[in-house]
A and B are shown apart, each in its own frame.
Chain A
Amino acid sequence: MLNYTLKRIIALLPIIIGVTIAIFLLVHLVPGDPAKTMLGERATPESIKAVRESMGLNDPLYVQFSRYVNKLIHGDLGRSVISNEPVINEIKVRFPATFELALFGMLFAVIVGIPVGIIAATHHNSWFDNISMMGALFGVSMPIFWLGLMFIWIFAVILKILPPSSRLSVGIALHPITNIYLLDSIIQGSWAAFWDSLKHLILPATVMGTIPLAIIARMTRSSMLEVLKKDYIRTAYAKGLTERVVVYKHALRNALIPIITVVGLQFGLLLGGAVLTETIFSWPGLGKYLLTGIYARDFPVVQGVVLFFAIVFVIVNLIVDLSYSLIDPQINYN
């Protein structure tokens, strides 16, 4: 297992190097002078010169690249052109917000999606099966930014039971420690802050979890249907085991591998897709930071955040791969 893990990590290196080169080159693909584009209306010959100098754009490409990589190794993702703050500091503060949102979105998708998929499979072709699979088809076809707006309209504007935006109500005190607000409020023993941040999480997490929910439900159903046809399931029934034991102990465990794959892949995608949800709900996460960077043509911010997301995505996919052997003892990597 250790060997296999090492092998997989080494296999990832070329990808990570490639991703780094691609992101480094992003700035050089900008049509025209990136310094001029970045400054926009504020561009004067002096300011262009200053930005070119501070970003090192006057050096040859390979010098720029080696400097870029050298900085990356030391955890330096560059500085925002607008605020002059190191990009990595902003990521440290904002990633926990995105992570909290994605985690709850995924939790919602898994808690609802897997049972729906199981019931749809055990009651194949029933009304439940038909309705839930139709729902799943709508789910994957739905623009989540539209769903978000409709949720805000229903739950915040009409019913007024959930807040439409941000992470915490005005007037609720919470000292950020981990920046995962639910955790912070538990650490500080503030139940008011806990409930308040949980209420703020519900709408965006549900919206974010919709597509994964639909995909997980479909995958669980088809994977379960596949397994339920197997001989050993018939044997299990024949020796008098109850349906519960057969479905949950025998079938589900064997159907789990493709489900885990989908869950992991979706979690990675969810982090990247945070841009939309965070924009709709004014959630101060990384996605929103990226978008602010794009609007302001703040290229170091764009590069830093995209690189960070890509690396997280690659790592999540690696963890999914490695987790197979824990779930399925039949898989032996050595």
Chain B
Amino acid sequence: MKDNRKNKKDISNPWLEAWDRLKKNKLGRMGLILVGILITTAILAPIIAPYSFKEQNILKRYQPPSRQHLLGTDELGRDILSRIIYGARISLQIGLISISISLLVGVTLGLIAGYYGGIWDMVIMRFMDIMLAFPAILLAIAIVAILGPQLQNAMIAISIVNVPRFARLIRSSTLSVKNSDYINAARGIGSNDLRIILYHVLPNSMAPLVVQTTLSIATAILEAAALSFLGLGAQPPTPEWGAMLSDARSSLQMAPWVAAFPGLAIMFGVLGFNLLGDGLRDALDPKMINI
């Protein structure tokens, strides 16, 4: 009942309509819940974590899951649950910060290439093609190899490898509207390029951009975990999920829980953003047949 009323009232706003559709989509709702849990955990980490993430207790090393330590302890006797909870902060930060940078750089390059065309288009897009000639994780590894293994550098690498996707997306949607009547009209009444781009071109690409951003955050979290696992990202004692897995390799035989739980955390974090991205795609594009 309530929903019906709301629908009628908000019918003019496509974003609110999409939000309603997202909430009705089973998988999208699941994604929303998982991402919600991740964000809440990250914000409330100091309150909900039962222990500190760096509190060591050698006497209690490699304890299996118990009532005191729900997910057990690691090789230094640190509480795994607490480390995973704090790890949510790091993974979320990596995802948000590195993708924001990719978004900013990629969108700017894509807009310039698409809107101005010509030599700009050629130079920028050839450059993107060259970046796409490398498998993403390999390019990220190469960049970290040069800059040095640090979480900050891993984030820079992840930002760089995700730029081409945004640039391509924005370029093609810019090209599709560049010569449409409403853009010509805006130009006719004297709007300058910046105004046209910000008020007319960009809003038109918003829907695919939101979807791409959400899915890219999932990829970024996974890539960062992979880099840290290889020892090229977050360094100990940072409670990064991938780094925790890397530490757990040597104790797999005697303490498999040390490896099991951080991996599950990565999986559900990534799954959340993937489901949300898929859900948003369906919600923002009502014309698409839902198969």
Q: Please give the residue numbers on chain A whose beta carbons come within 8 Å of chain B beta carbons, in ascending order.
A: 14-16, 18-19, 22-23, 26-27, 29-31, 137-138, 140-143, 145-147, 149-150, 152-153, 157, 222, 225-226, 268-269, 271-273, 275-276, 279-280, 290-291, 293-295, 302, 306, 309-310, 313-314
A225: B residues at CB distance < 8 A: 291
| 16 A-B contacts (beta carbon < 8 Å) | A15-B130, A141-B218, A142-B267, A145-B226, A149-B252, A157-B256, A225-B291, A226-B291, A271-B135, A276-B137, A276-B226, A293-B145, A302-B145, A306-B134, A306-B138, A309-B135
Look across to chain B and name the residue whose beta carbon is closest to the beta carbon of A312: B135
Set of chain B residues within 8 Å of A141, measured between Cβ atoms:
218, 222, 267-268, 270-271, 274
Q: Which single member of A16, A146, A294 contacts B141 (CB below 8 Å)? A: A294
Q: Which residues of B contact A143 (CB under 8 A)?
A: 222, 225-226, 229, 242, 245, 263, 266-267, 270
Q: How far is the CA of A295 from the CA of B230 in the complex (A)?
A: 10
State how many angstroms separate the Cβ of A197 from the closest Cβ of chain B. Answer: 23
Q: Do B266 and A146 have beta carbons less than 8 Å apart?
A: yes
Chain B residues whose C-beta falls within 8 Å of the C-beta of A153 in the assembled complex: 252-253, 256, 259
Is B129 on the interface with A (CB-CB < 8 A)? yes
**Across the interface, do B263 and A310 meet the contact criterion of CB distance under 8 Å?**
no
Residues 226-251 of chain B, each 1 if its beta carbon lies under 8 Å from chain A, else 0? 10011110000000001001001100
**B interface with A by C-beta (< 8 Å):** 27, 126-127, 129-130, 133-138, 141-142, 144-148, 218, 222, 225-226, 229-232, 242, 245, 248-249, 252-253, 256, 259-260, 262-263, 266-268, 270-271, 274-275, 291
Selected from A142, A150, A269, A295, the residue in CB contact (under 8 A) with B231 is: A295
Q: Roughly how many angstroms separate A2 CA and B259 CA in the complex, as a whole number?
A: 52
Q: How far is the CA of A146 from the CA of B142 in the complex (A)?
A: 22
Residues of A within 8 A of B134 (CB): 19, 272, 306, 309-310, 313
In this complex, which of A31, A141, A147, A275 has the most chain B Cβ atoms within 10 angstroms of its Cβ? A141
Please name all residues of chain B whose beta carbon is closer than 8 Å to the beta carbon of A137 when the two chains form the complex.
27, 271, 274-275
A18 touches B130 (CB 8 A): yes
Closest to A152 in B: B252
> When the two chains form their complex, are residues A140 and B274 in contact, meaning their CB atoms are under 8 A apart?
yes
Contacts of A290 in B (CB 8 A): 141
Known contacts A273-B135, A294-B141; can you find 5 more A-B pairs with CB under 8 A? Answer: A18-B126, A18-B129, A26-B142, A157-B256, A272-B134
- Which chain B residue has the least Cβ–Cβ distance from A279? B230
Residues of B contacting A314 in the complex (Cβ-Cβ under 8 angstroms): 133
**Is the contact region of chain A dominated by helix, strand, or loop, or is it mixed?**
helix
Bound CA span A280–B245, Å: 11
Which residues of the partner chain A approach B147 to less than 8 Å between Cβ atoms?
31
Bound-complex Cα distance A146 to B252 (A): 11
Complex: chain B residue closest to A25, CB-CB: B146
Q: Residue of B at shortest CB range from A225?
A: B291
Listed from nearest, the 4 A-B pairs whose CB atoms lie closest are A272-B135, A146-B263, A18-B130, A141-B271
Report B266 CB to chain A, min CB distance, Å.
5
Instruction: Tell me the nearest residue of chain B to A317, going by C-beta.
Output: B133
Quick one: closest A residue to B127, CB to CB? A18
Residues of A within 8 Å of B138, CB to CB, are: 272-273, 275, 306, 309-310
Q: CB-CB < 8 A to A272: which residues of B? A: 134-138
**CB pair B248 A149 closer than 8 Å:** yes
Determine if A275 and B230 form an interchain contact, defined as CB atoms under 8 angstroms apart: yes
Residues of B within 8 A of A273 (CB): 135, 137-138
| Pair A146/B135 contact, Cβ less than 8 Å | no
Q: How far is the CA of A313 from the CA of B230 in the complex (A)?
A: 22
Q: Which of A15, A147, A269 contacts B135 (CB 8 A)?
A: A269
Residue among B127, B141, B145, B252 with max Cβ neighbours from chain A (10 Å): B145
Q: Are B141 and A275 in contact (CB under 8 A)?
A: yes
In the complex, which residue of chain A has the Cβ closest to the Cβ of B262?
A: A146
Give the chain B neighbours of A222 by CB distance below 8 A. 291
The one of A15, A27, A145, A269 in contact with B133, judged by C-beta atoms closer than 8 angstroms, is A15
- Residues A145 and B245 in contact, CB atoms below 8 Å apart: yes
Closest to B261 in A: A146
Q: What CA separation (Å) do A145 and B252 show in the bound complex?
A: 13
User: Separation in Å of the B35 CB from the closest CB of chain A?
Assistant: 12
Q: Which residue of A lies closest to B241 (CB)?
A: A143
